[in-house]
Amino acid sequence: MSVLEVRGLSKEFGAGGVLHRARLHAVDDVSFSLRPGRITALAGESGSGKSTVARLIARLYDPTAGKVLFGGHVVGRRRRDALRYRSQVQLIFQDPFGSLNPAKTVRHHLARPLRIHGLASRRDVRARVEELLETVGLVPPAAIADKYPHELSGGQRQRVAIARALAVEPRVVVADEPISMLDVSIRVGILNLMRDLKERGIAFLYVTHDLASARYVADDILVMYAGQVVEQGPVDQVLAGPLHPYTRLLIESVPDGHGGLAPIELRRGAAAAAVDPAPGCRFVDRCPLAIGVCRERTPALVEARPGQAARCHVTAPAPTNREDIHAQPAA
C-alpha cells in the first residue's frame, strides 16, 4: 500500500535565452508511488528533472499537469491541508549548511518544529530534542544540542537536518542528493542512517546521480532521462538486467561496479532533449539500438518483466506494437 503517489506529474518552464518561446518539459508524465519502509532511488544525469520531481512532491512548485496523492487523497489547497502535508512530507537538501541558521543552536532547530506542530509540551521539548539527536547518531546529545552549525562537521550538519525532518514525525522523506556535498568517508554513515530510518516505516525518495549509492541503499529505482522516467523496478533487478539503453549507459559509466560510491559521469544532452520535445524517444540521438519508429512514436512505459518497466520500443515494446516494430529495418 503506497503512502504517496504521483500520477502524470508534469512541470514545464520557459526555456529562456534565444529560445524564449520554447518550453522545457523538465518533468513529463511521471507516475510512481512510495511505500512505507522502502527507499526508492530517483537517478539520472544532471538536468534530467530529479530535483524538480522532489520540489513538486514537496509542493515548492505547482505542477503543470498531474497530481500528488497522499494517503490516497489529492492534497488539497486549504491552508490546514497544506500545513499537515508539509509536516508529513519532509525535504532534505544537498547542502546542510545552507538549510541551517548559523545564528541558532542545534537545539533551536529541533525544538522549533516540535513547538510549531504541537508535538511536545514545553517540559518535554528538551528530552525529545535529545532523543532525536540520538536517533540520528549524534552523541552525547546534550552537548551537541548546544552547538552552532559552524561547530559541526558536514556529516554532523546533515544529521541535524535529518533530525529536524524527523521531528515532525513524517511519513515521507524526500532526500535530494543528501550525500553529494559530504566527504566520501562519511557518506556511507548517512546512507546507513537512511536504512535504519526506513525500518521505522518511513517512505524515502532518495534523489541521486550516483548509481552505486542507489544500489547500496535503495529497494526500488526510477531512472530519469530528459524529464521522463525511462525505467523503473526493484533496484537489484534493474541494475543486474537493465532494459533501457540509457540505464545500461549509466551502469557502464560507473567505474566501480562493486558497491563502491564512485559517481557516474555527467553528460550534456538530457536537458536539451526536453526542450519542445518532438514525438519519438528522447534518447534517440544517443541510442545504439535506435530503429525507425523511435523518431516517430514516443515509447510508453511498458512492464516488460515482472515489476520492471521501461520506455523503449526495442527492449520493452508495447504488446500491440511488438510484431510491427521488429519487422522494421534498423535506422
For residue 268, give the 3-state DSSP assignment.
Answer: coil
Name the residue nearer to Mg ion (CB basis): 230 or 290: 230
Residue 274 sits in the site that holds ligand SF4 (CB under 6 A): no
Task: Kindly state the smallest distance separating residue 24's Cβ from ligand ATP, in Å.
Answer: 6
Q: How many residues bind ligand SF4 (CB under 6 A)?
A: 13
Q: Look up residue 328 and give its amino acid.
A: Q
Supply the DSSP string of 186-201, one letter for each residue. HHHHHHHHHHHHHTTT
* Contacted by 290, from Mg ion, ligand ATP, ligand SF4, none: CB < 5 to 8 Å by type: ligand SF4
In angstroms, the CA 323 to CA 315 distance is 13
Answer for which of 6, 24, 175, 294 binds ligand SF4 (CB under 6 A) is 294
Residue 243 sits in the site that holds ligand SF4 (CB under 6 A): no
Residue 179 cell numbers, joined: 550525500
Residue 312 sits in the site that holds ligand SF4 (CB under 6 A): yes
Name the residue nearer to ligand SF4 (CB basis): 92 or 309: 309
Binding segment (CB under 6 A) for ligand SF4, from list 49-57, 147-155, 250-258, 310-318: 310-318
**Residues between 51 and 70 that touch Mg ion (CB under 5 A):** 51
Residue 144 sits in the site that holds ligand SF4 (CB under 6 A): no
Q: Which of 184, 188, 135, 203 is nearest to 164 (CA)?
A: 135
b or e along 136-175 (b: 16 or more beta carbons within 10 Å of the residue's beta carbon)? Answer: bbbeebeebbeeebeebebbbbbbbbbbbbbbbebbbbbb
Residue 283 sits in the site that holds ligand SF4 (CB under 6 A): yes
* Contacted by 294, from ligand ATP, Mg ion, ligand SF4, none: CB < 5 to 8 Å by type: ligand SF4
Q: What is the largest CA-CA distance in the chain?
A: 74
Task: Kindly state the smallest distance separating residue 202's Cβ from ligand ATP, in Å.
Answer: 22
Task: Kindly state the smallest distance separating residue 15's Cβ from ligand ATP, in Å.
Answer: 8
Q: How many residues bind Mg ion (CB under 5 A)?
A: 1
Q: How far lies 278's CA from each of 272, 297, 319, in Å?
A: 12, 9, 23
In angstroms, the CA 62 to CA 283 distance is 27
Where does this chain bind ligand ATP (CB under 6 A)?
13, 24, 26, 44, 46-52, 209, 271
Task: Please name the helix (run of DSSP H) or strand (run of DSSP E) that holds residue 184, with its range, or none.
Answer: helix 184-198
Task: Kindly state the smallest distance separating residue 220's Cβ from ligand SF4, in Å.
Answer: 21
Residue 289 sits in the site that holds ligand SF4 (CB under 6 A): yes
Sign of CA dihedral 305, 315, 259, 54: negative
Q: How does DSSP classify residue 17?
A: G
Residue 225 sits in the site that holds ligand SF4 (CB under 6 A): no
Footprint of ligand SF4 (CB under 6 A) = 244-245, 281, 283-284, 287, 289-290, 294, 299, 312-314
